[in-house]
Chain A
Amino acid sequence: MKTSIALAGILLAGTSIISAQAINGAGATFPYPIYGKWFEEFRQKNPSIEINYQSKGSGAGIAQLTEGTVDFGASDMPMKDEQIAALKVKALHFPTVLGGLVPTYNLPGLADLKFSSEMLAGIFLGKITKWNDAKIAKANPGIKLPATDIIVVHRSDGSGTTFVFTDYLSKISPEWKAGPGANTSIKWPTGVGQQGNEGVAGMVKQTPGAVGYVELIYALKNKMEYGSVQNAAGVYLKANLESVTAAAAGAANNMPADFRVSITNAPGKDAYPIASFTWLLIPSQIQDAQKRTALVSFLKWMLADGQKDCAALGYAPLPKEVVARELKQIAQIH
């Protein structure tokens, strides 16, 4: 008797899993911690909707969306025109949170180094090779700089982080734009490649004279020292959640209707220059009415209550202007 009840229970549990609406997505790894939290919180509020997410990388997310093996994608870089052309169903870009990148370096005793834009471009182009270079001294008056070699450390794995950083360098340096350019993987003019934020941070930490870039979240979680960066208005800013959100607000005025926008080197004196959105890619036509309703209600919840989770996890929340425009875009999902 007992076993038959248990069996019935298992069978019932089974049917409830089947009847729950399962939505599958794949893509960027950078927002995975907050996406995981969102999907779980949303499932608790709406037990009938279960959203599964595989953090396989932005490229894989776009590829799977194109093949139609997932219900939605996620990416750290906006889709390119040729990627959009390959889609069977038009996809809408929904910015979800913001991230920033910080320069990290290893110069014992020199805290809060200032990075001017010409200095960053020069270092990563391999044109500035010593720490006591005149351009570095110009940005850091009154600081005694050592005559050591600069060792550039960059990401070796294809990454949205590299895209954001090289996109920023392309905006501040014509030479960078014409040379290495912006992409998830590029041909680096100089330096050493390491895997992941932890690889770059580890290499910088143990190599005197090294400089690299890591995600702000990673730097905050690991209490790393990092430098301030000169923004488009000429102000030196240290990255934090406010200055990253300000970058999005600064760019909001010139934002295209489809949200495919880079907010690196954004205008405004409070805007941190190396910042980026990360996007959910939602098909504009969803045949399955249940899935459509579920995704729409998730998006609405994410833009309101979901945003409140950002700060605790180290992500910068979306500015109000962007949220308002995204709410309008939801109406385009049919």
Chain B
Amino acid sequence: MGDEIARLVTLAFGATVVLITILLIWNLWGTSAPSRHKFGLGFLWGTNWDPNANDFGALPFVYGTVMTSIMALVISVPLGVGAAIFLAELAPPGLSSGCTFLVELLAAVPSVIYGMLAIFTVVPLMREYIEPALKGAFGYLPQFQGPMLGVGYLTAAVVLAIMTFPYIIAISREALLEVPRDQREAALALGATRWETTFKVVVPYARLGILGSIFLGLARALGETMAITMVIGNDSTLHASWFAPGYTIAAVLANEFAEATGKVYTSALVELGLVLFLVTIVINALARLLVLATTRKGTAKVV
């Protein structure tokens, strides 16, 4: 009897997850109807966002969202995983626990605080030093041309990298610590150096956890709103240059939703929310595939 009650109660809890997801999609789908009917699938690759002309397209925002998130991971993954390896494998215990405490603290800082750090520190640094240096070195590429404003895609990516960094360290470190001691000892006993043990045995063993940390970082990067809207420049025109101001889906929703007037405008913003939902699902699906692929590869090696 007690088991049955527990089963039903937990089932109800579990069902709320499904219910919330269905409710969310149903709500977004319904509210975005005027925009979906007006623009059709073309909304996804439309590049114009003009509230006055009632013409809306999602591409500049999708591009900004995906682009800044990927650039952020390119910066934060090597740094984060490297730091996790150091903390889990090489650092003396006192240093390791001190750093871990700080990392967990950083992961809990509200994003608007990172936004302030970004405005007062990262933006001037980018404008005065990093962007001129990049322009000097790679100025022949279109990505590194144009005026250096300090705000834009690249700055947003750097800020996202700073924000995702603690997540990647904290979870990767946990995953590395989970690796059984005998795995390390076996490798050392076979004559592997400490370095070889770490990179050929420990890291491959913990790769699922490390990948998990990267996906969590990615999820945070895709949905990040406050800090990004403070540094990305909020410009709905597509630019090739990484120095130029851009926009993300979450940022435009935060900026324009409260004062949006008219059915089409409001529903276009809701449809952007739907697109962000889709982008998140697609990226998560790709991530799952990546996990599956690497797991198989790993198994094959063992065999």
Contacts and interface: CB of A to CB of B under 8 A. Distances in A.
B26 to A, nearest CB: 22
A151 B119 CA distance: 16
A326 to B, nearest CB: 25
A183 B262 CA distance: 12
A180 to B, nearest CB: 7
Contacts of B254: 157
Interface residues of B, number: 32
Contact of B51 (A62, A149, A186, A195): A186
B260 A59 contact: yes
Interface stretch (A110-118, A200-208, A315-323): A200-208
A193 B234 contact: yes
Contacts of B123: 206
Contacts of B233: 192-193
A156 interface: yes
A140 interface: no
A59 B261 contact: yes
A196 B235 CA distance: 15
A282 B224 CA distance: 39
B273 interface: no
A171 to B, nearest CB: 15
Interface string B128-151: 000000000000000000010111
A183 B258 contact: no
Contact of B52 (A59, A183, A203): A183
A180 B52 contact: yes
Contact of A186 (B48, B52, B245, B255): B52
A184 B49 contact: no
A160 B261 CA distance: 12
Contact of A191 (B51, B124, B235): B235
B229 A158 contact: no
Interface residues of A, number: 35
B230 A195 contact: yes
Nearest to B258: A57
Nearest to B236: A187
B259 A187 contact: no
Interface in A33-64: 56-60, 62
B112 to A, nearest CB: 11
A184 B48 CA distance: 17
A186 B150 CA distance: 23
B127 interface: yes
Contacts of B260: 59, 158, 185
A59 B49 contact: no
A181 B55 CA distance: 13
A159 B260 CA distance: 9
Given A82-B262, A192-B235, 7 more contacts: A151-B147, A156-B229, A185-B260, A192-B233, A193-B234, A193-B255, A195-B234
Interface of B: 48-53, 119, 123-124, 127, 147, 149-151, 229-230, 233-237, 245, 251, 254-262
Interface of A: 56-60, 62, 80, 82-83, 149, 151, 156-160, 180-188, 191-195, 199, 202-203, 206-207
14 contacts: A59-B261, A156-B255, A158-B255, A158-B257, A158-B259, A160-B259, A183-B52, A184-B259, A184-B261, A187-B51, A187-B53, A187-B236, A193-B233, A195-B229
